[in-house]
Structure 1
Amino acid sequence: MRVFIDGTPLFRQRTGVGQYTMHLVEALFRVDEDHRYTIFSFALLGRGAKRRPIPETPRVAYRFMRYMHLKVFNAIVRKLTAPPIDLMLGSRPDLFFFPDFVRFPLPLGSRAIAVVHDLSFVLHPEHVADRNRKYLTRYVPRTIDKCQHIVTPSENSKKEIVEFYGTDPDRISVVSPALDHTFFYPRADTEIEAVSKKYGITKPYVLYTGTLEPRKNIKSILAAYAQLPPEVRDSFSMVLAGGKGWLDREIKDQLEALRHLDIITTGYVPDEDLPALYSGAALFVYPSLYEGFGMPPLEAMACNTPVIVADNSSLPEVVGDAGILVDAHDSAALGLHMEKVLGDPALADELRRKGLERAKLHTWENSARRLLDIINEVGARP
């Protein structure tokens, strides 16, 4: 089959959707020896067309639309209508794969698979920027209706799509994110010490990684840390590792009110520092209010760090019995669990052991094989 892949997420600064797309597609090309793939994107007048996030091979090619800038295309989509992408490309492949929520019109008749990562834009609109919320609210229902199959990263997201849109569950498959285990693994003390020094960490620490925004529930992390007994706070720093996010004014105010405590904000942390940062943490906390999947707890477990996560959305799927679940809105309970893990080495060791075992189950090759099965099934339909 000829399969066209929307490569736009690969050319942006790669956050969650971009990382998922990159790793999944790379693994797909490794496990599939039959189909031919074309990654398409925009490069006005050829600018940027030399970039190849994934190397070309005899079965992997690139196609750039050189007569329109991506920003112009996005403006048309947001303000007017979604243009027919197959006519713009001048091609009718057997299958299109859209990894970023939205399927564009295909009047030439190709089949399509799209990834709908979560339904935060309708279930938790307060945590989604207005422009993005309107865009997804408009186009995701059309995508679900028009695609031959939908992929989503968790059973929870699948359940939400079925319940909210009335979609046939047989039209939805779960292809979960995974880990590069050659990258996320327990690091040596020398690496941990170097990264700790880089970020001004001088004693054992509790860690959160991710954007500092309301959906990640930073206020509960800070409230839980503040209520720890003084002797525990004196022994452990609280490290918030991530860049500033959307609507972070309250977080800034809370940090200012707690400036007398040992709270370290690192700002954006490059990928290469994350494994050592996870490996050095005494505990990882992630009481997010909603996640389509939630990669940071999985990354932490792979680096031999005990985890506490919220008991909502997909997070129980991610950690299973390898982590502690807590009500995201109960900062007192979060604080008590933090105190318990930090004060009980046997419990922490048990969580580490279970976490390492669970993380090993998540490989990109396994996820890519699930996607390939879907490609084969959808592509074979009459």
Structure 2
Amino acid sequence: MRILYDGQIYSICRNRGINRYFQNIIQNLPSEFTPAITTNDGSNSYPVHSNLKLYYCSGKETLPKDIYSWYEKVYFRTVALLGQFNIVHPTYYMSVARCALSSYHSRLRYPVVLTVHDLFPEIFPEQLDPSGQQRFFKQEAILAAQAIICVSENTKRDLIKYYSIPEQRIKVTHLASSIDATLSYGAESVPSNPYYIYVGGREFHKNFDRCLQAFAKAVSIQPDLFLCVAGAPFKLNEQKLIAELGLEQQILHYEYPSDNHLAKLYRCSIGLIYPSLYEGFGIPPLEAMSCGTAVITSNNSSLPEVVGNAGIMFDPASTADLTEILLWLLDCPIERECLIKKGYERAKLFSWEETAAKTIEVYASVAE
């Protein structure tokens, strides 16, 4: 089977969950498959597969913008036509040629499989998509797809709610963790003080401000407690809030740590704080369980589906509830160890091999 992965996601972001999703799908494809990625970014790290073909459109930095835009569309359409693919699986809702998937692939007549990871713009339109552009391109992509993959049952329910998609067009394939406790015994440094860890983005819906507020109250009672934050550098508004809460000495930042370092940070922590207002799946809680730490997370969206009874759930609107949990878990090592054991067992239910196998089933259901 020849599969074309329209590589727009590689032009948008790196070190994010969607990139890792396609990396694991592609590297777990059977050896007789031929995956191909179209991209205009030659500096990225791409998935590994014995038959992978990378089609790179050069000239982005040297050609005039209008000329490159025309050349790019011609190049990618030519690759798609000459490649005689069985299926197209876009990595984003817009094509790498920066146009709607419905118009880009209509001439190619290949079946389209689309993965919907979440409905952030639909649920938080004013904060995350005030212009409506993301929703426009997503709707166009959904209309162009013969089959849709959702990464959780919750995302499937939301997709049906917001777009009235027939249920028979949707298949759920859960995600998995790419790291586990076996990576966590290297020489990487971790704090000597007891600490919690926060991992991932810090956009509006991630509820990071409440996390800081709850942590500040916990520190007022347990002043030796630290918070490790893994991810992008702090923005000015975050730095301001940290200063206002008097947490400059209690917060340690790790900018995109390696997998080994992240696994060790997880394992040596008291627990992960994941207070999101909404998630399409939620990989950090699964990573935390795989690496041997307790999980404190919201009781909404897909998170109960991921964590099950192996974590502590709370109302993400309640700062007081989170503070109480942080102090309780710190003082209850026996209960914490029980959560860790449950987490290990829960994490075993998710694997990238299973995700890839279910994805291949979707490919086969629509392939020419």
Q: Does 1:351 align with 2:339?
A: yes
How far off its partner does 1:90 sit? 3.3
Deviates more, 1:208-217 or 1:153-162: 208-217
State the secondary structure of the residue aligned to 1:325.
strand
Q: Which residue in 2 is equivalent to 1:22?
A: 23
Q: Which residue in 2 is equivalent to 1:161?
A: 159
1:330 and 1:6 map into 2 onto residues whose CA distance is 41
Deviates more, 1:8-17 or 1:369-378: 8-17
Q: Which residue in 2 is equivalent to 1:361?
A: 349
Q: Does 1:268 align with 2:265?
A: no
Contact 1:101 1:117 in 2 (8 A): no
State the secondary structure of the residue aligned to 1:93.
coil
Contact 2:263 2:291 in 1 (8 A): yes
In the alignment, structure 1 segments of 5+ residues that lack a partner are none
Q: Does 1:253 align with 2:240?
A: yes
RMSD over equivalenced CA pairs, Å:
2.9
How far off its partner does 1:238 sit? 2.1
Contact 1:228 1:335 in 2 (8 A): yes
Q: Which residue in 1 is equivalent to 2:172?
A: 174
State the secondary structure of the residue aligned to 2:181.
coil
How far off its partner does 1:86 sit? 3.6
Deviates more, 1:111-120 or 1:261-270: 261-270
Q: How has the CA–CA distance of structure 1 residues 256 and 68 changed in structure 2, closer, same or farther, with 3 Å as cutoff? A: closer
Q: How has the CA–CA distance of structure 1 residues 88 and 139 changed in structure 2, closer, same or farther, with 3 Å as cutoff? A: farther
How far off its partner does 1:262 sit? 4.5
- State the TM-score, normalized to the length of structure 2: 0.86
The runs of at least 4 consecutive aligned structure 1 residues that moved more than 4 Å come to: 66-73, 82-85, 186-190
Give the letter aligned to residue 337 of structure 1.
I
- State the TM-score, normalized to the length of structure 1: 0.83
Q: Which residue in 1 is equivalent to 2:225?
A: 236
- Residues 38-72 of structure 1: CA distance to partner in whole angstroms, max 9, x if unpaired? 222236xxxx39x7723463x33222334667995
Q: Does 1:340 align with 2:336?
A: no
- Residues 75-122 of structure 1: CA distance to partner in whole angstroms, max 9, x if unpaired? 969xxxx98954564334221111223462221311111112111112
Contact 2:4 2:87 in 1 (8 A): yes
Find 2:180's aligned residue among 184, 203, 214: 184
How far off its partner does 1:15 sit? 1.4
In the alignment, structure 2 segments of 5+ residues that lack a partner are 96-100
Equivalent residue pairs, number: 353
Q: Does 1:136 align with 2:129?
A: no
Q: How has the CA–CA distance of structure 1 residues 135 and 14 changed in structure 2, closer, same or farther, with 3 Å as cutoff? A: farther
1:42 and 1:264 map into 2 onto residues whose CA distance is 38
Give the letter aligned to residue 292 of structure 2.
N
How far off its partner does 1:190 sit? 6.2
Contact 2:55 2:79 in 1 (8 A): no
Q: Does 1:326 align with 2:314?
A: yes
Contact 2:151 2:173 in 1 (8 A): yes
How far off its partner does 1:240 sit? 2.3
Q: How has the CA–CA distance of structure 1 residues 140 and 167 changed in structure 2, closer, same or farther, with 3 Å as cutoff? A: same
2:75 and 2:183 map into 1 onto residues whose CA distance is 48
State the secondary structure of the residue aligned to 1:99.
coil
Q: How has the CA–CA distance of structure 1 residues 63 and 335 changed in structure 2, closer, same or farther, with 3 Å as cutoff? A: same
Q: Which residue in 1 is equivalent to 2:98?
A: none
Q: How has the CA–CA distance of structure 1 residues 374 and 309 changed in structure 2, closer, same or farther, with 3 Å as cutoff? A: same
Contact 2:4 2:80 in 1 (8 A): no
Give the letter aligned to residue 314 of structure 1.
S
How far off its partner does 1:128 sit? 2.2
Contact 2:225 2:250 in 1 (8 A): no
2:32 and 2:49 map into 1 onto residues whose CA distance is 16
Q: Does 1:124 align with 2:111?
A: no
How far off its partner does 1:315 sit? 1.2
State the secondary structure of the residue aligned to 1:291.
coil
Q: How has the CA–CA distance of structure 1 residues 334 and 301 changed in structure 2, closer, same or farther, with 3 Å as cutoff? A: same
Contact 2:116 2:148 in 1 (8 A): yes
Q: How has the CA–CA distance of structure 1 residues 27 and 287 changed in structure 2, closer, same or farther, with 3 Å as cutoff? A: same
State the secondary structure of the residue aligned to 2:308.
helix
